[in-house]
Structure 1
């Protein structure tokens, strides 16, 4: 990976999908799908792949135009952050789905595990290659984490959830290694489930995460959040699972601090990690000023040196209007330039 500037800027993963591609009203009114939700796409099936490519180019271009230092594919081809990967695996029955409770206790249709979890082929290599072919900057791609996928499935095969999580960990491990072999600069595992079910996360989730990253060479990140702000408006006072990640193999930990006003004393627990600092509030379409964003970043300087911080939104931008998403990215980049000048970099 090329040398990044001080306080590099990046999305957490997703960018806003255009209205001509996906039914955004229906998307907002639907709990993030765990099984396939093809009815969300506005484009005919035979034209969908081409349309998703075109929309991905828009997302890459929007990030580049805003000045982000690290680019993603915006997760444009995904109905949700996790189902794109989870529903491509063998060992799950999608035609006869099961049921699982969300972190808020809502029952949702989910993949039903009926056999050993296997990856029939690399799932996101084509997405990565498309991103790299249209990027002149370091790139990041995201994969759902094993614990979160376990919580988003009905286990009718493995003897217990811990065994299921290890089944998912093995396929995630293989995918991450393939992504690095194909030239990914950063691979991020999305693990909101660790925050949502902290007791089970301690019992077997951390072990599954460690297994998913075992033997991986390359810069890795783990993202924790409180849920999409558009769907989960409230925020707790702090993370229920964060210090536990201090010893995990991931190089970077992604947390949200803007909407929650999180007490950044928690960063002391992550003193050996780079922290992807969420400083963009996704509960509102209002675009923050450069100074507001810079102030949110400055709060972290008492706990971590700037060299260990990446500036990012709280979570994915999937539910924002495209104009608001673009404006918020520009505010991030402006804040980075302001802070670099203040720090003499």
Structure 2
């Protein structure tokens, strides 16, 4: 560009898009149910976008300086980018009109599937708990600008008096995160289509320039990750190629290349040498880089406000970091380290956390205000914001000194651990003992744990919270629901039963409410995927278990049946991953505290006669560091915490775990090292792709590759499930295989759940009749 427009002194990389009271979730689900039409959904969404812009201006961002990111999405930002460039799998070709476009209903169909057409796969977004949809790209993919929604949302903002900054996933990350289409030949790599997709991005940039966009944000987090399957050299070459093309385009908006979730490392010189005008640096996960040729000519956007956690933090240290960045370039701006989609809207919406805890926190709105504060200091000098810096420092000091943050008894117990506390003994001996004790059939069937949470269950929980039900009345209602779930499982013919978890609002929050060291929010919702929202708990202090949590529910359930019932717990890594965890000590130390609390719970379950205990770790892969140098330490403490929680039981007690929606190949050895007797994993949406990793690794423990994708409303047919089971048996010895859904059934309705589980049992019976049960 001949003249680079001024970059705002303070900005954010993105803002929560679900609405302060989950208005988008409710509208989208109403659209899916046919209660509102597309026009009403569009109107609700436009209102949310307008409210967001107004809120950000009120919090201190500029109205007409491109500081507000246009980062809205109906479902997922990666899906948005795929639809924008026309990357629609051929099985959904009927959804595409003559102009190559897809309407909003079709957009959701890609995410949710329809009939025999499976949805796009889903997996975790880098090391966060957000899930993105995996695009499918092959040689046949016909790239074209198939959606102008990003242009329309910019012009919508402009008409309302805002000059915003359009945001889209960049071409390198889009292709690097894609998988080969069904039509692609063996060995095909989606990144090889870079030169074909760049003209579409070029057209988009030109369209944005025509309507007056001064800056565009291209998100390229793939450049900070060493866990991408694409070789690093090829990824960097792709970045060099992409931005040499897009950077020399005329006309276009100035390019702000954001690279959150870690340090750019060897990608930084590539970007510094490119024609892009601004580079985002995640300085929460990374550190201030050294001098790099070309960097002084860029706007350096210092991501010093943590977009991934909710602590108020050390604002003075953040300002000093911005000062260090200013030594690398005369043009510096302040931003969040990541999009704020990972944190709730506003701590002021919380009335029950207490003044002390509230003073330690910063949700999205408070983080925007922190950005504005630092930007003001950058412009007017440190003295202009000294009061705000001092207040943040005082809050941090008070937090670290508060009662409960450090508990001597908890720390003495972790300090006294020995190697024996982490080891359970020989798996082969356990397997024989468990087979004899449990007497399960070939290909035993079970579910992951939760059953649908009905409106009646949620109302009862709300009534308990309001005091409209007594504890005894609530317990009676939950016991009735458990009895119904047990009867249903008997009717279906499942082999290992669960109690359905009706008493649990969330698999992490339920435990957080019963462990010391945690707090829970009222309105702290964040998007997990699509319309699915969760309320991460706040892990603020040392963790211990004051009393048993699940034992009474499990014992009651077991009293209703002769079949084995699984005790259901959430594992230490997942409790950490799906909470806002304390940042004042190593994660491994916190994980050991949680593991010891769970060890006590497992011991009580075993003493009460529960012979199978499932300790879910769906987040094991999620927290794997993006940098290879950090992965060994993570795998050591994460695996160790699981073993610490589960190693105290007798060999006859069967320990299960569950993992979901991640790429397992890179952590298959860690999964083996967990030493769970049975591991259930997501496999249905990917059509059993994971079994090749299991086969090649020599994994010899029990394994339950999922045969029912519960994140889609589709009901899998008997034929489909039969094929999945047989595909698993082609790669895994039959004596190891369990049959189960991909994940818990909490989000599904009962009609689809019953039909799907009936099909699973029927398919299992078909396979049992075809395949001779192996002899151990």
Do the structures match in fold with TM over 0.5? yes
Matched, 1:58 2:494: no
1:53–1:185 Cα change, 3 Å: same
Q: What corresponds to 1:141 in structure 2?
A: 567
What does residue 330 of structure 1 align with? 758
The corresponding residue for 1:213 is 646
Q: Distance in 2 between matches of 1:10 and 1:161?
A: 33
What SS does the corresponding residue of 1:192 show, helix, strand or coil? coil
Residue 454 (structure 2) pairs with residue 18 (structure 1)? yes
Change (3 A) 1:81 1:179: same
Conserved? CA contact 1:166–1:211, under 8 Å? yes
8 Å Cα contact 1:22-1:40 kept in structure 2: no
Q: Tell me which residue corresponds to 1:45.
A: 469
Q: CA deviation at 1:95?
A: 6.9
Partner of 2:500: 74
Superposition CA RMSD, Å: 3.0
Q: Deviations over 1:156-201 (max 9, x none)?
A: 4862211111110111111112112211121111111112122264
How far apart are the structure 1 equivalents of 2:457 and 2:732? 41
- In the other structure, the counterpart of 1:166 is 592
More helix by share: 2
Aligned residue among 691, 694, 719 for 1:267: 694
Tell me the distance in 2 between the aligned counterparts of 1:110 and 1:323: 29
User: Matches of 1:55 and 1:100 in 2, distance apart?
Assistant: 28
1:222 to 657, 660, 669: 657
- The answer on whether the counterparts of 2:707 and 2:721 sit within 8 Å (CA) in structure 1 is yes
**What is the Cα deviation at residue 61 of structure 1?**
1.2
Give distance in 2, aligned partners of 1:172 and 1:82: 12
Distance, in Å, in 2 between the alignment partners of 1:101 and 1:163 is 28
Preserved contact between residue 289 and residue 331 of structure 1 (Cα < 8 Å) = yes
Change (3 A) 1:331 1:44: farther
Task: For 1:327 and 1:288, locate their aligned partners in 2 and report how far apart those are by CA, in whole Å.
Answer: 9
CA distance in 2, matches of 1:58, 1:42: 26
Once the 2 structures are TM-superposed, how far is the Cα of residue 292 of structure 1 from its aligned partner?
Answer: 1.4
CA distance in 2, matches of 1:192, 1:302: 25
Are 1:245 and 2:678 counterparts?
A: no
Selected match of 1:192 from 615, 618, 625: 618
Q: Secondary structure at the match of 2:613?
A: strand
Q: Unpaired segments of 5 or more residues in structure 1?
A: 24-36, 227-235
Deviation at 1:45, TM superposition (A): 3.1
1 CA distance for matches of 2:466 and 2:618? 28
> Secondary structure of 1:202's partner?
helix
Match of 1:7 in 2: 443
Q: Deviations over 1:26-67 (max 9, x none)?
A: xxxxxxxxxxx8489899432322211111111111111100
1:306 aligns with 2:734: yes
Matched residues in 1 for 2:483 and 2:529: separation?
A: 33
CA contact (8 A) 1:113 1:155 kept: yes
Q: Which has the larger radius of gyration?
A: 2
**Structure 2 CA distance, aligned partners of 1:244 and 1:57?**
37
Q: CA deviation at 1:224?
A: 0.5
Tell me, in whole angstroms, the C-alpha distance in 2 between the residues paired with 1:258 and 1:54. Answer: 32
Determine the C-alpha separation between the residues in 2 that align with 1:280 and 1:222: 17
Q: TM-score, normalised by structure 1?
A: 0.84
Q: Aligned pair in 2 of structure 1 residues 40, 337: CA closer, same or farther (>3 Å)?
A: farther
The equivalent of 1:292 in structure 2 is: 720
Q: Distance in 1 between matches of 2:582 and 2:733?
A: 47
Greater share of residues in strand: 1
Whole-Å separation in 1 of the counterparts to 2:482 and 2:525: 32
Paired position in structure 2 for 1:32: none
Listed as ranges, the gaps of 5+ residues in structure 2 are 1-436, 626-630
Distance 1:319 1:344, change over 3 A: same
Matched-pair contact (CA < 8 Å) for 1:17–1:55: no
For the residue of structure 2 that corresponds to 1:45, the secondary structure is coil
Helix, strand or coil for the counterpart of 2:546? coil
Aligned to 1:256: 682
3-state SS, counterpart of residue 319 of structure 1: coil
Seen in structure 2, the aligned counterparts of structure 1 residues 283 and 96 have a Cα distance that, compared at 3 Å, is: closer
Q: 1:118 corresponds to which residue?
A: 544
Aligned residues: 323
The alignment partner of 1:312 has SS state of coil
SS in 2 for 1:194: coil
Separation (CA, whole Å) in 1 of partners of 2:512 and 2:612: 20
Instruction: Give the structure, 1 or 2, with the largest relative contact order (CA under 8 Å, sep 6 or more).
Output: 1
Partners of 1:290 and 1:95 lie apart in 2 by 42
Mapped to 2, the partners of 1:50 and 1:225 lie a distance apart of: 32
Q: Deviations over 1:208-247 (max 9, x none)?
A: 1121122322110111002xxxxxxxxx665553331112
TM-score for both structures, normalised by structure 2: 0.39
Aligned mates of 1:310, 1:294 — CA distance in 2: 13
Deviation, 1:266, is: 1.5
- Please give the secondary structure, in 2, of the residue aligned with 1:52: helix
Equivalent residue, structure 1, for 2:748: 320
Q: Distance in 1 between matches of 2:543 and 2:663?
A: 36
8 Å CA contact 1:7, 1:309 repeated in 2? yes
Distance 1:43 1:311, change over 3 A: farther
